[in-house]
Structure 1
Amino acid sequence: MSWSIPFMPEQASNFAPGVDLLFYALLAFSFGLGLVLTFLVVRYSARYRAGSRADRSGRRARSLRLEIAWTAATVAIAFGLFAWGAVLFVDRNKAPADAIEIAAIGKQWMWKFRHPGGQREINELHVPVGQPVVVSLASQDVIHSFFVPAFRVKQDAVPGRTTRVWFTATKPGRYHLFCAEYCGTQHSGMRGQVIAMQPERYAAWLEARSGGEPLAAAGERLFRSLGCSGCHGAESRIPAPSLEGLYRRPVPLASRRTVIADEAYLRDSILQPQKHIVAGYGAVMPSYDELIDEDELQMIVAYIKSLAEDREP
């Protein structure tokens, strides 16, 4: 029997090698700096020990060049590590346009996932290897944190907001999914798995679980049942902004500002309609804050986003 303790979790995503390399660089810098400081402490402790003949007159030999050199080197290394981390952070927040988008909701105490085709999962997330995946996160109650150690990704799911995390799985397998934010008495039991599959096996898995209502289609049905089409429909007589091609487009506001219609804007427009009044329209839309839950909100947002996708060439 062989015993081994892995120093780091398995690398299984596009982010893992870069994050690990930065970690090792920080570790090496800290270790090297620690060695220098330890050497100086031991040296001066021995030199100025009780009874030694070391000069204690108070005269100091000062080298301006040496002081400038070590200060400049420390600043350069610190800014270099900062820039390195900033690049990784920016890449982590720029999902490719062709990524698969999966809706996720954290709740006490489970993870609920819904694929674009309507396939649902609880505490398991199936993804294809080699293809970018965006997980759109929301919380039904308190702050949760989507954490997959093997992928080196972690993102909070915050009540009242939509957050996103993306990754590309590089190796087939089953990988631990944790909630990394204390969320209540059963926080330690809020665990799951991300199952990375070869593309053909993933396609077969989706096909075997087909039959559910696609997320955008469910959003359209809910959109109409709530009466939203009465104002925002093409044949509506009530003046309301058109939603066709809205997603990711600039929106002029009555306050003379312009905002981009991203997910946060869509969410605010549904739950807090008075926050962004579109130029040329009155503040007449009611709030749906207590009328729909997070799951339904994700459906409606997916439907509005699909209206923009339908108009793309």
Structure 2
Amino acid sequence: MNSLFSLPEASTHAVTVDHIFYLLLALSGATVVLVFGLILLFAVRYRRGSKAKRGPMPEFLGREFEIGWTLATLLTFAFLFWWASSADLSSLAAPPHALEIHVVSKQWMWKTQHANGAREINALHVPLHEPVHLLMSSQDVIHSFYAPAFRVKQDVVPGRDTDIWFEASKTGTFPLLCAEYCGTNHSAMRGEIVVMQPEDYAKWLTRQPEGDDLAHEGAKLFVSQGCSGCHATSSNVHAPRLAGLYGRAVQLADGRTVTADDAYLRDSILQPKRDVVAGFEPIMPSFKGLLDDGEIQSLTAYIRSLGEEPPND
């Protein structure tokens, strides 16, 4: 595996991560040199038989030294904590109009799907200088999406949706790895991220095999799995309407309020009796074992696409 020093900074986030890393390296190196230098100096100067003056340090010098050293250490730690935490927090929330790509991990491959339905295995094509938002899930065990050139890593956990985003700053082909031991062929779970100029990415996307996008696939599943029998506007069953639901605050029967995001929709599909919407009966069956992660992502994309439509009364 390539080391951090041999990989280029290929994303906007990578520059900040590398600056923090190099500063920590310099501070650690300076501390090691100072400590071992003092040890060597004192060992030589105050060796047995030397004529160096010995005695207690003047009180004012000891007090000022202790106060100065403590304050310097405290301020340095506070600055590093602020810088590193602000860099991490800024990498959590993807920009509102980021390009959305779905990633499904399984032993031992990465399956990616673009918004227009184009699919890849162990590869991910993205445009240059455009934020890319990855929505990820696992079909079996814990994996970890690791793109060292972009300095991003995110665990992909079964039964839970996770996400990460980056903005590529250089064109080229960069390694994609799994950083969590996931089974016998963990070391072979490799792929590549191909960063292209925006116009080249658009051409590549149009050349991929035609297929329904995620929302259209989700719409078909919505009908074939019987969801429309309860959640459609024309349904006689008293069930929550889905148009305009995504991103909205939902009042639950137990008094809690949650946001209808990807995680909430996934839980509602697999564990419908856990978060029951206020005013509705817990009559929805669980689809656990009936839908895989890719199908859940498609259903979520379909519900998300309804967010632009006004709710029907």
Quick one: distance in 1 between partners of 2:85 and 2:4? 27
Q: Which TM-score applies when normalising by structure 2?
A: 0.94
What one-letter code is carried by the residue in structure 1 that aligns with 2:45? Answer: R
1:303 aligned residue? 302
The SS at the match of 2:210 is coil
Give the Cα separation in 2 of the matches to 1:30 and 1:311.
Answer: 57
Structure-1 separation of matches of 2:306 and 2:163: 20
User: Is contact 2:178–2:186 with CA below 8 Å preserved after alignment?
Assistant: yes
In the alignment, which of 15, 23, 48 is matched to residue 13 of structure 2? Answer: 15
- Counterpart in the other structure of 2:43: 45
Provide the rounded CA distance (Å) in 1 between the counterparts of 2:179 and 2:205: 29
2:182 matched residue in structure 1: 183
Match of 2:207?
208
Q: C-alpha offsets along residues 218-246 of structure 1, whole Å, 9 cap, x if unaligned?
A: 01101111111111111111111111111
Task: Report what 1:143 is aligned to.
Answer: 142
Matches of 1:288 and 1:60, distance apart in 2? 74
Matches within 5 A, 1:109-128: 109-128=108-127
The answer (yes or no) to whether the contact 2:214–2:302 under 8 Å persists in 1 is yes
59-68 or 96-105: which moved more? 59-68
* 6-15 vs 220-229, which moves further: 6-15
Relative to structure 1, the CA distance from residue 94 to residue 141 in structure 2 (aligned partners, 3 Å threshold; closer, same or farther) is same
Letter in 1 for 2:46: Y
1:54 deviation in Å? 5.1
Change (3 A) 1:124 1:224: same
Name the CA shift for 1:87/1:72 in 2 (closer, same or farther; >3 Å).
same
SS of 2:155 mapped into structure 1:
strand
Q: CA deviation at 1:56?
A: 6.5
| Residue pair 2:112, 2:124 contacting (<8 A) in 1 also | yes
Moved more, 282-291 or 105-114: 282-291
CA RMSD of aligned residues (A): 1.7
Instruction: Give how far 1:45 is off.
Output: 1.8
Q: 1:6 to 1:67 in 2, by over 3 A?
A: closer
1:259 aligned residue: 258
Q: What TM-score results when the alignment is normalised by the length of structure 1? A: 0.94
Aligned residue for 2:171?
Answer: 172
Q: Which residue of 1 aligns with 2:219?
A: 220
Q: How many Å separate the matches in 2 of 1:100 and 1:248?
A: 18
Q: List gaps (5 residues or longer) in structure 1.
A: none
Contact kept, 8 Å, 1:117 with 1:210, in 2: the verdict is: no
Flag the 1:151–1:287 CA change in 2: closer, same or farther, 3 A.
same
**In the alignment, structure 1 residue 28 sits paired with structure 2 residue 26:** yes
SS, match of residue 15 in structure 1: helix
How far off is 1:311 after superposition? Answer: 4.9
Q: Which amino acid aligns with 1:259?
A: V
AA at the equivalent of 2:183: G
Q: Percent identity?
A: 50
Report the count of equivalent residues: 307
AA aligned to 1:85 is: A
Take 1:135 and 1:152, find their aligned partners in 2: how far apart are those partners?
Answer: 15
Contact 2:4 2:148 (8 Å CA) reproduced: no
Aligned partners of 2:98 and 2:133 also within 8 Å: yes
Map of 2:284 onto structure 1? 285
Distance in 2 between the 1:250 and 1:95 partners?
Answer: 20
Q: In 2 relative to 1, CA 307–6 (structure 1 residues): closer, same or farther, beyond 3 Å?
A: closer
> 1:77: which partner in 2?
76
Contact map agreement 2:105 2:111 (CA 8 A) in 1? yes
Q: Is the 1:138–1:158 contact (alpha carbons within 8 Å) kept by the matching residues of 2?
A: yes
Task: Compute the displacement of 1:216 (Å).
Answer: 0.8
For residues 156-183 of structure 1, what are the alpha-carbon distances to aligned partners after superposition, in whole Å with 9 as ceiling and x for unaligned?
Answer: 1111111101111111111111111111
- Deviation at residue 274 of structure 1 after TM alignment: 1.5
Partners in 1 of 2:299 and 2:210 — Cα distance?
A: 20
The answer to whether the 8 A contact 2:104-2:136 is kept is: yes
